[in-house]
Amino acid sequence: MMNIGIIGAGAIGGGLASKLVKLGHAVSIANSRGPASLQQLAATTGATAVTAEEATQNKQVIIVAIPQKSIADLPKSLFRHLPEEVVVIETGNYYPNLRDGVIPALEQSGIDSKWVQEQLGVPVVKVFNSIIAESLIEGGKPKGAKDRIALAVSGDDPAAKEVVFKLVDELGFDPFDVGTIARSWMQQPGSPVYCRDLGIGELKRRVDTMAAQAGMKEMVSAKRLTDEALMKKDYPAYLKSLLDPVF
């Protein structure tokens, strides 16, 4: 059992809280509106509603599951005094035209989690961003099961990633190591692994293909903009487009 804090109570944060509690972990969950606004979610999931500060105290894993635009609003002190062994997971996706507004520094780097890491002041592991909430909640299967979904994982700290790999497996998914945070663009919106329920073999093939193609990072960024426009206009059509063959 681990003590896990979650900042963000949306579909991903709430879904993870429910699954992690069922697995026997002690889960605290916070949002920007305070614990009183989370009483129903707490009752439903079994997680403990807390403040953001409490969600980072005495935890082994902290999951940040909020929109990118809200990252800069988090108190700078939240992560300042964390012990080095605490694993910080970042699940966000940057949608400048749909939700977040343009963030100049993020636009310059083109790597969502690199910017988040700089904002929080601690290393992060990128995971749970490339799966839709319904698949995260309902799609877990036992290890070795046919059609088990694989999840992309990126991060610079091997020990932190090992903790995340075990957690992903426990939740019912196969972890796949994409590499460092600098390579996490391969699981961002617009990439051919984003929001697709792929097995580990196909996920590896797509990541390898992206890594081998020149200019692919820029292509992913351009595809994100196209996808944003489609999401805004016709979200069901966007979901259907995820089934289109790639590469």
Mean pLDDT per 10-residue segment, the chain (247 residues):
95 96 97 92 94 94 96 90 94 93 88 94 96 94 94 97 98 98 96 95 96 92 93 91 77
Express each pLDDT in 48-68 by its tens digit.
999 999 999 999 999 999 999
First to last CA, the chain: 41
Helix (H) or strand (E) holding 105: helix 104-109
3-state helix, strand, coil in the chain (%, to 5): 45, 15, 40
Q: What pLDDT is recorded for position 247?
A: 63
Q: What pLDDT is stored for residue 110 in this prediction?
A: 86
What does the pLDDT read at residue 118?
Answer: 93
* 83 CB burial (10 A radius; 0-12, 13-18, 19+): exposed
Q: In what order do the strands lie in the sheet with 61-64?
A: 48-49, 26-30, 3-7, 61-64, 87-90, 125-126, 150-155, 174-179
Determine the pLDDT at residue 9: 93
Q: Cα separation of 85 and 170, whole Å?
A: 20
What pTM does this model have? 0.94
